[in-house]
Amino acid sequence: MRRVLVTAGASGIGKEIAAAFLSAGDSVYTCDINRTVLEAAVRELPGLKHGLCDVGDRNQIGAMVADAVSQLGGIDILINNAGIAGPTARVQDVDPDQWEAVLKVDLTGTFLVTKAAIPHLIASRDGVILIMSSAAGRFGYPNRSPYSTVKWGLIGFMKTLSMELGVHSIRVNAILPGAVDGERIQKVFQGRAEATGKSLDTIKAEAMSNQSLQYLVDPKDIAALAVFLASDAARSISGQIVPIDGDMQRN
């Protein structure tokens, strides 16, 4: 039984990842900032270990990782999933406070969680780190500069981790989802419509036109990819960006 820590695993992609690892027979701990959502996930996923944590708060991260280690007995797999979408606006219109908030959660939060988990992953002797980047980490993303910036940054972080931690047999990869079905993408579409003055239907059609497979990605497929990358079948895969985006050609 592997010991898995998933950040922001009470809803969306994170919850699907937690559920997939539980179904694989693993012991899973997730944290989330929202108590109500977290409690609902625990009711839905029996056996899910959990704790509250704001990944944007440095003081909470160390306590959360320590709690995860206590409940799990160690960490074999770390899934860095926590992140916020940030504003939809042109660079000149982005509020600097909103810019810093995205970097604080998505980039610095991932760094701090990983830093705290590394000693435990080394001790496991067969550790895995997965970092949730985005198609925004492969392309420029008009009107989403903070989000795109952190997703590119996470790829650089992943590549560096893979080089530093390979000596400990720790594999590190980044998953890059495209347009994922769910509440968040609908908000993104609405934001694009408001920023550009186009209709919502036009925005949705444009979003699908840049993919060979013209449908939104199912979060369950992302979870299945995470389980594969953490498995022995992927034991020679490290330092890679793995898109799951319907063959997206541009943002």
Q: pLDDT per residue over 77-136, tens digit each?
A: 999 999 999 998 999 999 999 999 999 999 999 999 999 999 999 999 899 999 999 999
Is the pLDDT at 250 greater than 80, yes or no? no
Q: pLDDT per residue over 7-45, tens digit each?
A: 999 999 999 999 999 999 999 999 999 999 999 999 999
What average pLDDT score do residues 134-139 get?
Answer: 94
What average pLDDT score do residues 216-236 get?
Answer: 97
Structural domains present in the chain: 3-178+218-243 (3.40.50.720), 181-216 (no CATH)
Identify the CA nearest to 204 among candidates 192, 194, 195, 213.
Answer: 192
Give the 3-state secondary structure of residue 51: strand
Q: Output the pLDDT for position 179.
A: 87
- Say how far residue 26 (Cα) sits from the centre of its chain: 19
Is the pLDDT at 204 greater than 90, yes or no? no
Stated length of the chain: 251
Q: Would you name the residues annotated as active-site residues?
A: 147
Q: Mind giving me the DSSP string for 1-50?
A: --EEEEET-SSHHHHHHHHHHHHTT-EEEEEES-HHHHHHHHHHSTT-EE
pLDDT, averaged across the chain: 95
Residues 163, 204: Cα–Cα separation, whole Å: 39
Q: At what angle do helices 109-124 and 145-165 cross, to 10 degrees?
A: 20
Is the pLDDT at 182 greater than 90, yes or no? no
Token pair 């972080």 in the structure block, residue: 157
Q: Output the pLDDT for position 109.
A: 98
Q: Mind giving me the DSSP string for 120-171?
A: HHHHHSS-EEEEE--GGGTS--TTBHHHHHHHHHHHHHHHHHHHHHGGGT-E
What's the pTM value of the predicted model, to 2 decimals? 0.93
Q: pLDDT per residue over 54-89, tens digit each?
A: 999 999 999 999 999 999 999 999 999 999 999 989
Backbone φ and ψ of 84, nearest 5°: -120, 155
